[in-house]
Amino acid sequence: MSEDTFRSVEIERTSLGKYVVRNARGGSLSMGSGEEGSFTPVELLLAAIGGCTSIDVDHITSRRAEPTRFAVKVTGDKIRDESGNRMENLTVEFTVAFPEGADGDKAREALPRSLQQSHDRLCTVSRTVELGTPVSIVEAAGTTSD
Answer whether residue 143 shows pLDDT above 90: no
Answer whether residue 38 shows pLDDT above 70: yes
Q: Which residues contact 71 (CB under 8 A, 6 or more apart)?
A: 94, 95, 96
Record the pTM: 0.90
Answer whether residue 5 shows pLDDT above 60: yes
Domain coordinates of the chain in residue numbers? 1-38, 40-131
pLDDT at 58: 98
DSSP structure string for the chain: --TTT---EEEEEEETTEEEEEETTS-EEEEESS-TTPBPHHHHHHHHHHHHHHHHHHHHHTTT---SEEEEEEEEEEEEETTEEEEEEEEEEEEEE--SSHHHHHHHHHHHHHHHHIIIII-HHHHHHHHT------PPTT----
CATH 3.30.300.20 holds for 40-131: yes
Answer whether residue 1 shows pLDDT above 60: no
pLDDT at 146: 64
pLDDT digits (tens, 9 = 90+) for 100-112: 999 999 999 999 9
pLDDT at 4: 87
pLDDT digits (tens, 9 = 90+) for 77-131: 999 999 999 999 999 999 999 999 999 999 999 999 999 999 999 999 999 999 9
pLDDT digits (tens, 9 = 90+) for 44-79: 999 999 999 999 999 999 999 999 999 999 999 999
